[in-house]
Structure 1
């Protein structure tokens, strides 16, 4: 059993991911505070034992570690650098752990600003979805100062199963963008391979078992396909809109560095065009329907 953290922690953003993190931290015995603009979210997490606050400044005053779980980079900038943001209301010695999938330049800019207040910033996006957030089973990819990471470890060890320190500020987001680009591509390539198998007369479930014992396996073939695709469940908690956003971050990063990545760009185009038939709120695994609607639809 993970030992209780002696650090107080506040979670900003109590949606599917942040709410799961806050509830798990509370259930694990950590002193956990929460803030969200939504009164419904505050009430829901308050009912689960999280000490919720009506303002960001009240939360910042109460905790040692502040975990951000926000939709996009612009929300991170607003919470950290905007009027009444953490750069104004935070305290010297506090550590901000940003689990948002953001852009590395944003993470570096925010880290520099917070350092001017004597605060540390870790860009620490996570993989594992809402179920991982609720169970402490996430993988965290961390960019930032190693000493700050060591100080935050008691909290992170409750929240995650694996922490990988990738490098300096911004590097955690580079790793997460690369990870999600691969996931987006693997969903398409695995869907094509299983469609090929089915049309050639083999059972996709059996071929998938063989692939997962061979060199073609991936996290998508090992987890997504049996759990959410071939089962027809499509309830991972991660949406088409979120994956489109993350693929878009990969495209922007590639363009920023003048890279010619034809497979990645083809992947991005399929995800972009899928908006015509798959709404942002749909489960992201439904992208496989673009490959073979008859095989993968419920």
Structure 2
């Protein structure tokens, strides 16, 4: 959900506008499969269908399937049927373990895909999982990209997401028409796993910025400065961030808390950062403090709450919903 930074020199592709998906020109079919039709995956599938892509979806939830079917997305009977009809397969799943189960489990996707298929995993997963899954697909002649996304359900619905991508340039070139139809910005970070490393770093910063912005707003409010005016000043200066520019005006100060990204998902992503830091043997005290704050927030904020509600831990008076 939180926006990734834009490294222009490595950006691949360009904005789609209203151009339809012309995959034949890239030497591949026009058919895309989407596995996972929740808030993100469902909106990706609908966006692709709206732009002229033949889309097949799959999800265990009948309600999720019905929602996208009403918008022109075909529903596959099973994993084998989806794989048989898809040139590009997009995964939109909650966690790394779900990616492994879908791809490498008994009768999983790796045993179903056709040679030449490109699997694009938009899940915020781990680099180790991505590398393991990519190796399995390579053995059957398929390609794999880890391409976690930012922009939330609204970005998925509008086709304005940012994707940070790990994988080979050849695989990216084959999948690019589909990715262009789904997103506004694509940054090729490096080899398989690099996309997830970039997304983990991005979300660690977003998690920290929400807390530091809440603290700065609280300090200024107690000193007599209105939060809205403080943010206007910060956003004109060097302290600005996606939290001050987007999250606080859109979801915090108005107490809407309806971004579509949950506390549970951000806790998961901060945990991935903490895990990676430990694996690398690094001592990063501010990252550790951020992780501890998000872990402690479970005492008062349930996993299903909006992730911006972390601000309430700083000041319930300023940021709480009240009665």
- Which band: TM-score by shorter chain? over 0.9
**Superposition pairs for residues 19-168 of structure 1, below 5 Å?**
19-168=42-191
Match of 2:245 among 193, 197, 222: 222
CA contact (8 A) 1:98 1:125 kept: yes
Looking at structure 2, the residues matched to 16 and 54 of structure 1 have their Cα atoms a distance apart, in angstroms, of 21
Question: Which position in structure 1 is the counterpart of 2:40?
Answer: 17
Match of 1:139, SS?
Answer: strand
Q: Tell me, yes or no, if the aligned pair for 1:14 and 1:42 is still in contact at 8 Å.
A: yes
4+ residue runs over 2 A deviation: 2-7
Aligned-pair CA distance for 1:28: 1.2
Match of 1:4 in 2: 21
Preserved CA contact (<8 Å) 1:2 1:157: no
- Which of 266, 277, 298 is residue 254 of structure 1 equivalent to? 277
Counting matched residue pairs gives: 298
Shift of 1:198: 0.4
2: CA distance, partners of 1:158 / 1:239: 26
> Any gaps of 5 or more consecutive residues in structure 1?
none
Encode CA deviations 1:229-276: one digit per residue, 9 max, x unaligned: 111111000000000000000000000111111101100111001111
Question: C-alpha displacement at 1:64, in angstroms?
Answer: 0.3
The residue matched to 1:97 in structure 2 has which SS?
strand
TM-superposed deviation, 1:5 = 3.7
Structure 2, unmatched stretches of 5+, are 1-17, 24-29
Q: CA RMSD in A?
A: 0.7
Higher RCO (CA-CA < 8 Å; seq separation 6+): 2
Structure 1 Cα separation of the partners of residues 20 and 187 of structure 2: 20
Q: TM-score, normalised by structure 1?
A: 0.99
TM-score normalised by the chain length of structure 2: 0.91
